Structure 1
């Protein structure tokens, strides 16, 4: 059985490929934050407190467009609703933990930390310290996000029109790499195909609502196909 320290460093190590994919995303956010009129403190504050890439990009664009604070908060809340799905999946594994653990687990929950942690939780060993694995992965990702944002603020403005370089595509590749290992059954494949198709069709919906619609459609398709295939 791994010790807490061993679990922690294993999580930090295993999340490294996802960290590499997130670096360009953080760099671009740091650049956009400053160029959109946010102060250095405001840009860093979004990364430190919100810690959700897609929501931060939306917030910056809305702030630059002069949107009201309430609308910005509501929109980012809607975009982050997918985290409810992640939370439900983690509940069976963390419900026994004290509140002092549940709070940081909730705060550090991202697409990447969830993808890494759920794989560890589903492994059939009797380790009592898998939450330390989650913490190691989450803290590594969080530290990287802050560093990337700072680097984007400091260096990004020196790169002419950095947003046109398409570096944010690295995050799309990262997400694909996160999903593929979990596609082990036909219902899973169907769920991904449906979610992807709906996401493309609903791309024009305001405030990124297409993401939530796609998630609901994918889950529904997966559940329905599971019932048909396996009775």
Structure 2
């Protein structure tokens, strides 16, 4: 890809992520406020945010630290919450293997739910073209920057944000904005509905296992519908022949 085309794709990735920023900003603010109220210094919070770069895991770790949980429990919780990134990495690996290590490592670090979903949707819209990694880089970088800035703002504001604002409500809305365009057939619809239902039913599982159970259930439902569609399609083609 020429430099000008890569620059354009990078900018398109940024533009695709920007509408989701209002849903991410409250999450970062809440994370920064929570950490500041627990007595952590600015540089401790900044270091944790840069090291983790996983909002849900960071919030869970902060809550467990506040409850003086055992370090092993905190570690297991964080690992379980972040297991979804193994699925993301497996999906991206075939597209990123051609990149040099100096490009793969930063992109791997900046993978997020939003950038992964946006790139997958874009790739589905262009099924015969290789994945646009410049687009992925643009959305990933902008998401990383929005998260860092929002957490820092939360630290600076501290407890000045009233609870009546209910900032947490904006978090699921940002994921819905990604999910709806990705539902393009019966398989993806089945995966979304199953995953959402299981996530609600399994919400009370310890160590945030409900997220993993919901993910696996959604994937299984989507695969089941997809595998059942293939024999039906083959039978219809045979009948026409």
TM-score (normalizing by structure 2): 0.88
Aligned to 2:145: 143
Does residue 166 of the first structure (1) align with residue 166 of the second (2)?
yes
Mean alpha-carbon deviation: is it higher for 219-228 or for 201-210? 219-228
Aligned to 1:115: 117
Return the alpha-carbon distance in structure 1 between the equivalents of residues 45 and 201 of structure 2: 32
Return the alpha-carbon distance in structure 1 between the equivalents of residues 196 and 36 of structure 2: 32
Per the alignment, do residues 125 and 80 of structure 1 end up closer, same or farther by CA in structure 2, a change over 3 Å counting? Answer: closer
Deviations 1:110-152 (A, max 9, x none): 1011012223344439988922221211111111111111111
Residues 97-108 of structure 1 aligned to structure 2 (within 5 Å): 97-108=99-110
Consecutive unaligned residues of structure 1, counting only runs of 5 or more, are none
The 8 Å contact of residues 27 and 55 in structure 2, kept in 1 or not, is answered as yes
Return the alpha-carbon distance in structure 1 between the equivalents of residues 165 and 202 of structure 2: 25
Return the alpha-carbon distance in structure 1 between the equivalents of residues 103 and 130 of structure 2: 14
Aligned to 2:77: 75
The offset of 1:196, in angstroms, is: 1.0
What is the root-mean-square deviation in Å for CA atoms of aligned residues?
2.0
Name the larger-Rg structure: 2
Per the alignment, do residues 128 and 205 of structure 1 end up closer, same or farther by CA in structure 2, a change over 3 Å counting? Answer: closer
Per the alignment, do residues 177 and 215 of structure 1 end up closer, same or farther by CA in structure 2, a change over 3 Å counting? Answer: same
Aligned to 1:202: 202
Return the alpha-carbon distance in structure 1 between the equivalents of residues 72 and 226 of structure 2: 40
Q: Which of 29, 35, 40 is equivalent to 1:33?
A: 35
Q: Which of 25, 30, 49 is equivalent to 1:47?
A: 49
- Paired residues, what number? 229
Mean alpha-carbon deviation: is it higher for 116-125 or for 58-67? 116-125
TM-score (normalizing by structure 1): 0.92
The offset of 1:30, in angstroms, is: 0.5
Return the alpha-carbon distance in structure 2 between the equivalents of residues 172 and 88 of structure 1: 25
Consecutive unaligned residues of structure 2, counting only runs of 5 or more, are 232-241
Per the alignment, do residues 224 and 165 of structure 1 end up closer, same or farther by CA in structure 2, a change over 3 Å counting? Answer: same
Return the alpha-carbon distance in structure 2 between the equivalents of residues 217 and 3 of structure 1: 39
Mean alpha-carbon deviation: is it higher for 62-71 or for 174-183? 62-71
Mean alpha-carbon deviation: is it higher for 112-121 or for 180-189? 112-121
Aligned to 1:175: 175
